[in-house]
Amino acid sequence: MIGSGALRSRTASNRSSAKVNKPGWSTLRALDRGRRDQHVCEVRERGMTVHDDATADGFPERLPGRFSGSAFRRLYAFAADPEAFVPGGEFAAAVRAELRPANPGAEQPVDSLVGEATAWSSETAKRFQRMGEQTDRDTRRLLVRRAALGCAPLGLASGAWLQWLTSPGTADEPLVLGILGLYGSDVGVGHPGAARGDAYLGLLRQLRASENAAPLARLAGEPRIDDSAFRLPALLLVMSRRPDDFGPELVGADLCLRAVGLPPPLALVRPEVPADWAAIDCSVARDDGPAPFERCRAAADALARPGPEPAARVQAGFAWALATLSDQIEVLYDQLRASLDPNYGMAELMRLRAREGSVYHHQVLLEDRPLAAWLKDCRDDPWPFLDVLARSRLVRPGQSGASPLVNGLVSERGPMFRIFSPDDLTVISRWIDALPARPGPRKAAAAGERASARDTNGPSAAVLPDIRATAVPSEPGPSDLREAYHLLMSRTSSPALRDWSLRYIRGWLARARHRMGPESVPLPPRWTAEGLRPWLQQQHDRHGVEFAQSERAPLPSRDAVVDDAVQTAPLTLIDGSWLQGFTDYKLASSDIGHSLFATYFDELGNGLATLNHPLIYREVLAEMGVVLPPTASRAFADWPGFRDASFELPVYWLCVGRFPRTFLPEILGLNLAMELSGVGGAYRRAGMALRGHGFSTRFVDIHNTIDNVATGHSAWAADAVDTLMSGLPEEPGPGSRPEVWERVRVGYRSLNPPGGLLARSAARRARLTGGRRRPELVMPTTGEYGNV
C-alpha cells in the first residue's frame, strides 16, 4: 500500500481498478472541473482564501508569488537558456513557496519517502500497463504517443537540474565532485548526443512526435502537452539557476526521481517502441560506477549530515517532487483514459484549432449561427459545437467515409485543403465513426461543467517580465578585482555582478583586439576546410624545438618557483572555469560543447578527488609550505600574499565562462590557446624546475599528457573550433566565417593580451561604453539540442 505522506492528497486508490471504461461526455467535461475543485480545496487547506476572482488554478489574479499552468511553460523555456538569469528576492521566495509542504511539521524520513516513491511508481506503472493491454492496436498507438508527449518536458531534461551544482569555488569538494560524476553520467560525458534527454528525443522521433522537441525551449510551444506536465521540470530548471538557494532541495528532488525510475506512463510505451530505455530511465547506471540512486543518496546523506536544517530541505525537495510528479501523472492518466472515447480527441482538436478557424467562416451558418462564432466559443468549451457539428450536413454519423468534412472539403480541390494534418483527420474520422446513427439534441451542460483545463492568462502572466526587469542592476558592482573574484566563485549571480562581468569581458577583449594584426597570434589569418589539426601538429613541433633550445638554460631559483606557484594559484585553483558554462545541459552533449564539457570534467578529476586538479595543485603548494584558505572564501581573495595583478586573468576566465553562447567564438579561441600553451614545452620546463627543487611534478605531468595534440584537450579544442567554423557561411557579414574566425583569433590572444598603456586605455573605454551591448550570437545550424 502506498504511504500517506507526500502523496496524502492523491486519489490514486480511487483509480486502481483493473477495468478501464470509456468515459461519457459528461465525465469528460467534469475532468477539468474536478481538478479545479480539488486544487481549491488544497488552497483552503493551506489556510489561503479563495477569492471570487480565482482563476482555473484556484489562485486569485492578484495573489503574488504563485504560478499558473501556462506560466510554467514560459518558465521552462526561460530557464532552458544556458545564460538565463534567475533573480533572488521575491521571485526566489515565490519558488520556495511552491516547495512548501501542505502539512508543515509532518516531514518524513528519507527512507520512508524512498519506499513511498518506489511503491507508488510500481503500482502506477501497472495501471498504465492495464490501460494499454485492454485497448485495440490503433487506440493503443494513440495512447502511446500521448503518454510519451506527456512525459516529454521531464524526459527531455532528465538530470538537467544538476547542471550548476558545481561552481569554481566548490570544484574541489568531494560532495560536489560526486554530484558532478553523477551528472557526467546523465549527459554521456565526452560524446555528442548522448544525454538522457537525447535518448528521449530519439523516442519521440520514432513516434513521429518530435516536431517541437528541440531545442529544449521549443517544447514549451507544443500544444499537445498539458500545462501540468511543465510544472515539475520548469521549477527544477529554475532552481538549478540558483544552486546556492536550492541545492539541498535539488538533490532531494533528484533522489526522488531516481527512486521512481522510469516515469510510470512510459510503462505503456516501452513494450511498443524500441528505444534506449537504459538511458531514458534515470535510475539505470550508464557506466561502471555505482547506481545513480546510490550516488545521489550518498550526496543527500552528506548534505544532511551537518544538522536538521539541511536534512529537512533535502526531505522537502523529495516530498515536493513526489507530490508534484504524482499530480502530473494523475492528470495524464485522466487524459489518456478520456482519450479512449473519440469525443475527447475531437474536443481537444477543436480547442487547439479554434482560434485560427474563428478568423474565417463568418458567412457559413450552422443552426442559424456563424461558424466563426461557434469556433470562438470552442476555445473555452468545444462541446456545444460538437453537438451542432454532429447534426450538420458535414457529418454522416457512423460513416466517416461518406462525410464531406473528411472527404470533399479537405480534398485537393476542396476549400479546406491541408487545413488538417493526417493525424487530425484520423481523430475526426474516429469521432464520426463513433457517433450514434441519429444524434439528437442534448441538454445544455451546466456552466460548471464547461470549465476549461487551459488557463492561458493565469495569475503569473507577469512573472517573466518581472524576471527580466530585475536583470537591470540597481546597485554597484564589485569594487575591485579581489571582491569580483570572490563573488564569481558562485554560480548564483545578481544583476550588478552580471553587468559588471559583461563590462569586464568587453574591456578584456578590447585589449586583446588592440593593434591586432595577422601575426599577432600564431593562428592562421584564415580558417580553411582542412581544419586546425595540421596547424596543431606544427605548433607542437615548435614547442618541442623551443624546449630543446632551453633545456640547458639555468633553472629558476627556489624562491622564484615558489613565488610563481603562489601567484598563479588564483588561476590554477579554478582550472577550467572558462568552460563552466558548458556544464549546461543543452551544451554538455552538443556537437561543439561535448568536448568542452569533457575537458572541464577532466580538470575537476572526472568527479574523483584523487584526480582533481585544484586539489593536486594544493598538494604542491603544501610541499612549498604554503597553505591557502578555501578558494571560495573571502579570506582567499584577501590573502596578502597575492598581488592584485594575479587576479586579472582569473577574473576574466570566471566572467567569460558565464556566457557560453554570447562569447562562444572567443571562448573557443581562449580554450585552444590555454590547452596548447604548455604541451610539449612549457610543462616539461616547469617539471624540470619543480623536480630540481624537490617538489612534486604531478600537476604539470598530468597536464602534459591529457592536453596532448592527438587525443587530448588540445585536439578536442581544435576540433571544437572546426565544428563551429564548418557550419558557417563563407560570404562576409555578421555570423559569417571570416567574422567569426576573427573573434576566435581575438579569444586566442585574450589568454595573453597586450599590457601597454594604450591597450589598457582601450579596455577602459570598452568597459565604460559597452556593458550591456551584446555581440552577434553564433548559433550553428546543425545538431539536436541547439548544438552550440
Question: CB-based contacts of 360: which residues, under 8 Å, 6+ apart?
Answer: 372
Q: What share of the chain is helix, strand, coil (3-state, %, to 5)?
A: 60, 0, 40
Burial of 468 (0-12, 13-18, 19+ CB in 10 A): exposed
The arithmetic mean of pLDDT across residues 176-190, rounded, is: 97
CA angle 146, 148, 151 (to 5 degrees): 105
d(CA 167, CA 229): 30
Q: Which of these, 226, 199, 201, 198, lies nearest to 211 by C-alpha position?
A: 201
Q: What is the torsion angle, in degrees rounded to the nearest 10, for the CA atoms of residue 286, residue 189, residue 73 and residue 454?
A: -20
In this prediction, residue 24 has a pLDDT band, given cuts at 50, 70 and 90, of very low
| Segments in 524-568 forming alpha helices (H) | 533-550, 558-567
Q: Is the pLDDT of residue 605 over 90?
A: yes
State how far the Cα of 240 lies from the Cα of 217, in Å rounded to an integer: 15
Helix (H), strand (E) at residue 21 = none
**Mean pLDDT, the chain, integer:** 85
CA 479 remoteness from chain centre:
33
pLDDT at 471: 55
3-state secondary structure of 70: helix
pLDDT at 557 over 80: yes
> What is the 3-class SS of 471-510, one letter each residue?
CCCCCCCCCCHHHHHHHCCCCCCCHHHHHHHHHHHHHHHH
**Per-residue pLDDT at 51 exceeds 80:** no
Contact predicate 514/192, CB 8 Å: no
- In this prediction, residue 600 carries a pLDDT of 97
Contact 377, 361 (CB under 8 A): no
Contact in structure between 674 and 649 (CB atoms under 8 Å): no
Place of cell 528576492: 89
Contact call for residues 590 and 719 (beta carbons, < 8 A): no
Query: Which are the contacts of 482, defined by CB distance < 8 A and separation ≥ 6?
Result: 637, 638, 644, 647
Which amino acid appears at position 543 of this protein? Answer: H
Q: What is the C-alpha to C-alpha distance for residues 296 and 302, in angstroms, rounded to an integer? A: 10
Higher pLDDT, 457 or 669: 669
For residue 193, give the C-alpha cell. 548526443
Q: How many CB atoms lie within 10 A of CB 98?
A: 16
Residues 6 or more apart whose Cβ sits within 8 Å of residue 39: 57, 58
Angle at 176 between CA 159 and CA 502, to 5 degrees: 80
pLDDT at position 277 is 97
* Residue 213's pLDDT band (cuts 50, 70, 90): very high
* Cα(269)–Cα(280) distance, integer angstroms: 12
Say which range, 400-404, 631-635, 783-787, has the weakest mean pLDDT: 783-787
Summarize the confidence of residues 6-31 as an average pLDDT: 42
- Which pLDDT tens digit goes with each residue over 641-660? 999 999 999 999 999 999 99
Mean pLDDT of 521-540: 95
Cell numbers standing for residue 724: 563551429
Query: CB of 471 within 8 A of CB of 87?
Result: yes
- The confidence score (pLDDT) of residue 5 equals 55
Using DSSP's 3-state secondary structure scheme, residue 382 falls into coil
Query: Residue 46: which pLDDT band, with cuts at 50, 70 and 90?
Result: very low
Contact 787, 584 (CB under 8 A): no
pLDDT value of position 48? 34
* pLDDT of 118 higher than 80: yes
Between CA 630 and CA 639 the distance in angstroms is: 11
Q: Given pLDDT bands bounded at 50, 70 and 90, which one contains residue 453?
A: very low
Q: Which residues neighbour 29 within 8 Å (Cβ) at sequence distance 6 or greater?
A: 383, 445, 449, 450
Question: Given this model, what pLDDT does residue 679 score?
Answer: 87
694 phi, psi to nearest 5 deg: 85, 20
What would the mean pLDDT of 301-312 be, rounded to a whole number?
91
| Distant-in-sequence, close-in-space partners of 263: CB < 8 Å, separation ≥ 6 | 151, 154, 155, 325, 329
DSSP state of 784: S
- Torsion over CA: 193, 653, 612, 682 (sign): positive
Q: Lowest mean pLDDT: which of 180-189, 328-337, 352-361?
A: 352-361
Cell of 440: 439528437
* Secondary structure of 208-253 in HEC code, one letter for each residue: CCCCCCCCHHHHHHCCCCCHHHHHHHHHHHHHHCCHHHHHHHHHHH
- Which helix (H) or strand (E) segment holds residue 428: the answer is helix 422-434
Cα 712 to its chain centre, rounded Å, is 28
Distance separating alpha carbons of residues 508 and 652, to the nearest angstrom = 7
Q: Closest by alpha carbon to 659, among 548, 547, 584, 605?
A: 584
For residue 157, pLDDT over 80 is answered with yes
Q: What is the pLDDT of residues 251-286, one digit of tens each?
A: 999 999 999 999 999 999 999 999 999 999 999 999
pLDDT of residue 307: 85
